[in-house]
Amino acid sequence: MQLGREILARELRRRRLDLPDESRQVEAAAQLSLAGGPDAVFESLGRGDVPIGQVIRALFPERTTEELDVPTPSAFGRVMDRIRLGRGVKVQGMAGLVVRYAQCCQPVPGDKVTGFVTQGRGISIHRVDCPNLLTMPQETDRRVEIDWQSVEGEVFMVRLAVDGEDRRGLYADLLEAVSGTGTNIKQADLSSRDGAMFGNVVVEVEHSSHLAKVIRVMRRVKGVVRVERHEAVPREQA
């Protein structure tokens, strides 16, 4: 319900509209066939079960589609919208908000991310360059802006793909380089064949700067040719 309230408040601000009184909210819930009044509307909206556009049309039945469309802002208007709307839905500090960090792109604080409201499973957070976003339903009503504040001590697992030229001591040097940054190694799956080294290393990082440091020291190890974030994880369904 709290997430639904956030989404509705944001979209009303974008349309320069005020939330109608409770009686109209009750009528809107009935029109949407939601038993439970306004709270049921907020909950369904937060779960992604009902599109925001449908909710707004139910709240303002007397207005035309053109009146309910989001106005196209001027350059100045876009700046003002950023100020007026704030930085988006806050992930940290929102009690009861169900948030999942997508395993397909494994985002960390500091990445450019977007939230996708999944059906009955809260918000799934993806990096904006995640290829799986292209295969998800394209309703803009299910996308939410994210203000992802990192919390001290919170860590995120990231899988790194590693390739290189095999040599004696390469594995030990690679893992020692990672450990030297104070980073915990959760898993290392490295193999050698025909003089080549390849595999994955799963590390725990606090934010994107921490991750960048880990990648940087790994690339400096003699024999390492490539270190990149691993993307080949089965896509989760929204």
Task: Spell out the residues 6+ positions from residue 155 whose beta carbon is closer than 8 angstroms to its own.
Answer: 184, 204, 205, 206
Are 161 and 137 in contact by the 8 Å Cβ rule? The answer is no
Specify the number of domains making up the chain: 3
Mean pLDDT for the chain? 80
At 145, is the secondary structure helix, strand, or coil?
coil
What whole-number distance in Å separates Cα of residue 181 and Cα of residue 178? 6
| Residue position matching structure tokens 């909210």 | 25
Write the pLDDT tens digit of every residue in 138-147.
655 667 777 7
177 and 221 belong to one structural domain: yes
pLDDT score recorded for residue 160 = 95
| pLDDT for residue 224 | 95
How many CB atoms are closer than 10 A to CB 205?
24
What is the chain's Cα-based Rg? 23
What six digits make up the tokens of 50? Answer: 């009902």
| pLDDT on residue 174 | 94
110 and 65: one domain? no
| Residue 113 within a domain | yes
Low-confidence ranges of the chain (pLDDT < 70): 70-98, 119-121, 136-142, 149-151, 231-238
Q: What pLDDT was estimated at residue 167?
A: 93
Per DSSP, 137 falls in state: -
Q: Which H/E stretch holds residue 39?
A: helix 38-47
- The DSSP secondary-structure symbol of 193 reads E
CATH number at residue 166: 3.30.70.260
Do 6 and 56 have their domain in common? yes
- How is residue 214 written in tokens? 């880990």
Q: Which residue has the tokens 């990231």?
A: 158
Closest to 136 (Cα-Cα) out of 118, 123, 112: 118
Residue 72 pLDDT: 58
Q: Are residues 224 and 163 in the same domain?
A: yes
Q: What sign does the dihedral 13-134-209-90 (CA atoms) show?
A: positive
Query: Is residue 206 a part of any domain in this protein?
Result: yes
Whether residues 6 and 81 share a domain: the answer is yes
Q: How far apart are CA 142 and CA 181, in angstroms?
A: 38
d(CA 84, CA 55): 22
Distance from C-alpha of 214 to C-alpha of 110, rounded to nearest angstrom: 15
Pairing label, strands 89-90, 146-147: parallel
Q: Quick check: helix, strand or coil at residue 56? A: helix
Report if residue 212 sits inside a domain: yes
For residue 93, the model assigns a pLDDT of 41
Domain range for residue 77? 2-85
